[in-house]
Amino acid sequence: MSQKPVPSVAVPQSVVSAEAVSVALEAAVAKAAELGVKINVAVADSGGNLSGFLRMPGAFVQSIDIAIDKAYTAAGFGFSTKDWMKIIGHDEGMKLGFSARPRLVVFGGGLPLRVNGELIGGIGVSGASEEQDEICARAALDAIGAE
């Protein structure tokens, strides 16, 4: 009885580096300070695992988990958390089902991290307005050269 060759059991997966995480977190906090707001900011790797987190003194404690979940959502699906309702909003079952999932965030402030088109993680910012959260997240992407 001949055996077929076993396909590869592991594949490489790119993730955001620790150095880039540090730069991204600091850039988001610097932008928040410039805007005069206090935020929590989290970075997740491409598997949705928490890679780094910063909380500005005075930022809402309740926003800690929201920032982490925004990063998780953006990393896991590869698009902005703000785009969720545009993408699935036409389907009531999906809209209700997905928004009821633990950790899934369907409002702005979470962005995917991509380098050369490859998803390497996600960033989530929470504590200010949805627009300000996204501005801080974009500053982080710009600081590390991510798309």
Tens of pLDDT, residues 36-82: 999 999 999 999 999 999 999 999 999 999 999 999 999 999 999 99
CA distances to 18, 65, 109, 125 from 129, in Å: 28, 16, 9, 10
* C-alpha dihedral (49, 51, 57, 60), degrees to nearest 10: -20
Residue 90 confidence (pLDDT): 81
* C-alpha dihedral (62, 121, 131, 28), degrees to nearest 10: 80
- Please name every residue paired with 119 in a beta bridge, in sequence order, or none if there are none: 114
